[in-house]
Structure 1
């Protein structure tokens, strides 16, 4: 900041206004000579109405009016139109008359219409009897100071804006330790307002121990007159945070210390990361020993290569018998894999990036191991690749386990498919038995009972005739039940007309039995007849199981079924608006919900099953099978 100019209450101004206020004659030659000799101030007199009655050389220089052109005119001519409209000139005269004197700064007008920043004093002039006789007006042109002040203010605002966007704390203190400048980060970090810290020392703002810590480092800067760097744990609004603090002396033009500047960068996360990295390295070293992880380094420029002890063990060679080199490494690789391995490494070098690769390693005893190799590029300070470092892990057992797992999964899928086939065959057999034996026998019984009822004469007891009719009704009901069971065991529409027709029929039957509305949309009508029988049966059975769950558990009023074909798959979607459930919590009762059976059926058909549900939001089931 630049200093504000001295107020116009200088000795000269006081002397002039005192003389006039004491009744001095403004026309006195000596007094007039004094006023005329002043060129830095506009000094003139006003009558009680505010009209100009005297004019000095300074007034002519500052305001641009010659005496002949201004005498007798109202002094409001020097004010901006908006000030005149607001009555500001008359208000200032009234204040001076009331208080004896008033001062003000503001924009004023010259004769040519240009503006200048004025600092003015108006003094009321009174006779010895106290009667107001006029006013003395003294004005100084402070435009240059104003412009410099504005430039400094704008510069300070830019500095404040710049530092406010810094993630680091920034501050400036005077030699007494009072804060003269702080940025937004400091205020936010400590939960302060600017007025709570500016002009105050650390002891007035921060807790005792923290204030003492700050003061001690300030003292070190002042005594050494040099920059210091230190790590400090600061108590912030977010708790204790570690900061890298840099403090430095600010020198004045004479070389003396005019203040202390400082920055503080939060390095808490970096310190935590460093500690975590150290712990990880320690754990990694131990893990390498336990896991049998081999490491290596290779400098392509000179061909030097080193292997760890564990890497020799993986390769099955004696460290004394083999000199590490890239060629020796390739010799360990299975002949069928060498070209690919060499290409992977060459590409990593050419592109300047790391690589991960698996190959087979052949040991001297003929045993083969599967080794995963990972390499990373190391560059010098000019960005050139100088080294590859990496590690090798024997993954033979895990790969064999994966192969065994895939084989077991394939075997399980085959077994599941066979069980489903057996189940469907048994369903067809039972349906056939019901039709050929039970159904036909019941039909014959129905005919016989009807004949007996017709043969009874009118003289037959009424209760006997009623019992025969009741028996006929029971036989009819049983026949209908058997037909329903047969349709459920072996839906005729599924084999004759395809999955879409079967699902439509089953939805109608389900709605009749449960009073739950079913809306079925078949978007795959042209393709569902081409669906494999195994896949069609799986989707039909899944629909049966899902609708049974809706009837038992969902408390739903409506169910939507949609069949669609896409990208070589048939997708069946079943959605209800019921109570829903937590799928994770339902895992324990998956068998009760039929989920296990549905999963087995869809897997046996080579497909997948998806379930979405939430409490109060219904349930959606999606089953996909390939054509």
Structure 2
């Protein structure tokens, strides 16, 4: 056989090997199965050669055997400590570290194998050639190794096999990596979708194209008490027996037509009770328009159903309730002009007069003349713009009594936005308005009483301070003068004990006068009357700092004139109380009081 024919056979064998490996990849085989197929195909191309695929760990620090069917187990176990990705770690570890092929001719003599040559030699592995498997970004994915029992170096044919093997190994690794990423992302999305479906406040489910239910959300399972498996066995079990024929007929028609459907049915709860549900189903189609899934929801409408069945029974009761509760409802057909009212609504506008209420003009005429322009403008705005729906206005009954109504209206429009009809409710709030007015008047009176009380308190404070100054202060001053006169006279008698007692009395008298002066200032500081709020605050701050050790700064802006005295008194008292709270509770070291005047207001 000629060399050309041999080369053709070799190329054909390589191509066939590549095809078989790619088929394994495409069929979703595991990496181990793909690598074992690859190793055996390469081993078939060269007599006496053994092969192995090693994979790098995620941190690219170590290698591990992924496929090595012909490599002795003793070698695998013995070489394991030397599978680090580092220099001088045999052929594989060094090739992965250098990111280039490492061909060891003889493991018994090669310095790369000095630490592990015994493992290779005793297992009959003398020539070991390792080539790194690199990703597109030059990351180490693993290595492909060839082993011979006698010392030798690779031939061009071997190099060709190695290139093909590493290329196939890289394709398999990256394909599996992408597949795992896609699967992980898909699982993540499915988990998220499942969480959303289980969380939504509605019963939801999905059906395969053949009509078999393949998922139920948690709310559905909780309601029915059925697992998915039990429901699949008896899908009509939860449906009320009377509804089953109608429901199945409609569902089969929707499936045949491939269209969305909507139906009402009774579903059995876990405790055996049936409740009405609105069931909607919609198809999901792929890019070609083929239905790949049906999704459905079941909404509890039991309350609505009960309301519908009780509506006629409650109409009379509603009418009576509106009369008793001074409420009413109405509807005005803007196309025909027809007006519909409840008895309660007619009474709100016309009292006991039932001769009116058929025309819109009847209602317009009883609106209080001072409110008519406002009501007409709001009515026009509501129809034109969908403006505010709520309104308060007065009506005058035929007997002349005035009543206050609160109304709320809604406009129904066609597709073009033109108003078709208006409906709404009204409530008589006359008593409420009277109560609000009375409450407002009471508030005004209470404010006046509060101001009068403060004025009386300040008057009492001022009078008490004057009494302390004029009576007690003068008496203490006279007493101090007498003690000052006695002290020199007693000093000549050289009675030390008496002098000491007199000195103590003088000191006590001085402290008492200071205390009374402070009390008078607290009651009504003269500084406030004489020099205004800023000066009084500054004086009080200095006294407060002297008494407590807390630094107080008063910052007062320029003012064109003094505020009213009552306002100054109120702000001064507020500052007094605030500083007292600071001393008791704040543990502060510094306080700042800012006093500003703007737009006729005094702000502290």
TM-score (norm 2): 0.57
Equivalent-residue separation in structure 2 for 1:533 and 1:336 (angstroms): 43
Task: Specify which of 345, 368, 384 is matched with residue 379 of structure 2.
Answer: 345
**Partner secondary structure for residue 301 of structure 1:** coil
Task: Specify which of 542, 566, 577 is matched with residue 545 of structure 1.
Answer: 577
- 2:594 is equivalent to residue 563 of structure 1: yes
- Within a 5 Å distance, the mapping from 1:123-134 to structure 2 comes to none
- 2:412 is equivalent to residue 412 of structure 1: no
The 1:394/1:456 distance shift into structure 2, 3 A limit, reads same
- 2:14 is equivalent to residue 76 of structure 1: yes
Aligned twin of 1:92 = 41
Aligned twin of 1:479 = 513
Q: Could you report, residue by residue, the CA deviation over 1:355-399 in whole angstroms, capped at 9, with x for unpaired residues?
A: 322222222222222222322212356653222222222222221
- 2:531 is equivalent to residue 533 of structure 1: no
**Partner secondary structure for residue 267 of structure 1:** strand
Deviation of 1:541 (Å): 0.9
The 1:210/1:485 distance shift into structure 2, 3 A limit, reads farther
Q: Could you report, residue by residue, the CA deviation over 1:226-251 in whole angstroms, capped at 9, with x for unpaired residues?
A: 45944535779xxx99865467999x
**Partner secondary structure for residue 509 of structure 1:** helix
Equivalent-residue separation in structure 1 for 2:362 and 2:580 (angstroms): 66
Tell whether the 8 Å contact from 1:354 to 1:377 is kept in structure 2 after alignment: no
Deviation of 1:479 (Å): 0.9
The 1:221/1:498 distance shift into structure 2, 3 A limit, reads same
- Within a 5 Å distance, the mapping from 1:581-592 to structure 2 comes to none
- Within a 5 Å distance, the mapping from 1:178-577 to structure 2 comes to 182=215, 186=216, 204=229, 212-213=237-238, 221=248, 225-227=252-254, 229=263, 230-232=265-267, 244-245=278-279, 262-268=294-300, 288-353=322-387, 355-380=389-414, 383-515=417-549, 517-520=550-553, 522=555, 524-527=556-559, 530-552=562-584, 554=585, 556-558=587-589, 560-563=591-594, 565=596, 568=599, 569-572=601-604
**Partner secondary structure for residue 364 of structure 1:** coil
Deviation of 1:485 (Å): 0.8
Deviation of 1:447 (Å): 0.9
The 1:534/1:93 distance shift into structure 2, 3 A limit, reads same
Aligned twin of 1:41 = none
Which sections of structure 2, spanning at least 5 residues, go unmatched?
23-34, 49-178, 255-260, 285-290
The 1:389/1:548 distance shift into structure 2, 3 A limit, reads same
**Partner secondary structure for residue 358 of structure 2:** coil
Task: Specify which of 197, 202, 206 is matched with residue 171 of structure 1.
Answer: 206
Equivalent-residue separation in structure 2 for 1:174 and 1:215 (angstroms): 25
Q: Could you report, residue by residue, the CA deviation over 1:115-159 in whole angstroms, capped at 9, with x for unpaired residues?
A: xxxxxxxxxxxxxxxxxxxxxxxxxxxxxxxxxxx9xx99xx89x
Q: Which moved more, 1:286-295 or 1:461-470?
A: 286-295
The 1:322/1:74 distance shift into structure 2, 3 A limit, reads closer
The 1:351/1:562 distance shift into structure 2, 3 A limit, reads same
Equivalent-residue separation in structure 1 for 2:14 and 2:547 (angstroms): 100
Equivalent-residue separation in structure 1 for 2:376 and 2:16 (angstroms): 91
Q: Could you report, residue by residue, the CA deviation over 1:500-552 in whole angstroms, capped at 9, with x for unpaired residues?
A: 4433443443344345x355463x52249643322221122122223334545
Equivalent-residue separation in structure 2 for 1:397 and 1:78 (angstroms): 98
Equivalent-residue separation in structure 2 for 1:405 and 1:571 (angstroms): 29
Equivalent-residue separation in structure 2 for 1:456 and 1:317 (angstroms): 99
The CA RMSD over aligned residues, in Å, is 5.2
Deviation of 1:476 (Å): 0.8
Tell whether the 8 Å contact from 2:329 to 2:345 is kept in structure 1 after alignment: yes
Aligned twin of 2:79 = none
**Partner secondary structure for residue 538 of structure 1:** helix
Equivalent-residue separation in structure 2 for 1:466 and 1:337 (angstroms): 88
Q: Could you report, residue by residue, the CA deviation over 1:276-333 in whole angstroms, capped at 9, with x for unpaired residues?
A: 9999999976752432113322223333223332233333444443253221112111
Q: Could you report, residue by residue, the CA deviation over 1:64-109 in whole angstroms, capped at 9, with x for unpaired residues?
A: xx9797235472256669x89x8974433548999xxxxxxxxxxx
Deviation of 1:206 (Å): 6.3
Tell whether the 8 Å contact from 2:528 to 2:536 is kept in structure 1 after alignment: yes
The 1:475/1:202 distance shift into structure 2, 3 A limit, reads closer
The 1:449/1:210 distance shift into structure 2, 3 A limit, reads farther
Equivalent-residue separation in structure 1 for 2:355 and 2:491 (angstroms): 115
Q: Could you report, residue by residue, the CA deviation over 1:434-484 in whole angstroms, capped at 9, with x for unpaired residues?
A: 222221221121011111111235225332222222221122111101110
Which sections of structure 1, spanning at least 5 residues, go unmatched?
1-50, 54-65, 99-149, 193-200, 251-258, 573-627
Equivalent-residue separation in structure 1 for 2:545 and 2:318 (angstroms): 63
Q: Could you report, residue by residue, the CA deviation over 1:570-606 in whole angstroms, capped at 9, with x for unpaired residues?
A: 444xxxxxxxxxxxxxxxxxxxxxxxxxxxxxxxxxx
Equivalent-residue separation in structure 2 for 1:418 and 1:518 (angstroms): 35
Equivalent-residue separation in structure 2 for 1:571 and 1:188 (angstroms): 61
Tell whether the 8 Å contact from 1:309 to 1:319 is kept in structure 2 after alignment: no
Equivalent-residue separation in structure 2 for 1:278 and 1:203 (angstroms): 34
